[in-house]
Amino acid sequence: MAKFAGTDGGSPSGAQRLTKERLTEAHNFVKEIVDDPQYRLNLKARALAGNLAPNLEALLFYYRFGKPTDNVHIETATQQADLSALTDEQLSNRALAVAQSLKRHREALEARGPSPDIGVPTKTPDRVM
């Protein structure tokens, strides 16, 4: 592993390596906070008042009810079509139609907001080459 000047060896930023002891210390710190009865009461009060961050509220539902199923159902009339007989222009038109359909789907997902376990990509291709 490369050594960097002024560091403990492996980090060019000079950040300390995460040791088992430091990980245990961090785990115990978080455990102490989350297990505190007053913290839990305050968390419950914020949740009931509707003051939780949306991603935290979604995470609570995820932990309570489990991960929602991710299903993508695509319906096309030509799902089993033989594309080898199509011209380059016809293939290009079909590819463009698929790209436009995907863009509309992505825009609908972005309007709905991200699901609790995945983010929605923010950049959409403008065209297909």
Give the tokens for residue 13.
Answer: 């930023």
The structure's pTM equals: 0.38
In this predicted structure, what is the pLDDT of residue 128? 47
Domain segments of the chain as ranges: 26-66, 85-113
Q: How many residues does the chain have?
A: 129
Higher-confidence residue of 63 and 5: namely 63
Range in 20-24, 64-68, 89-93, 117-121 the model is least confident about: 117-121
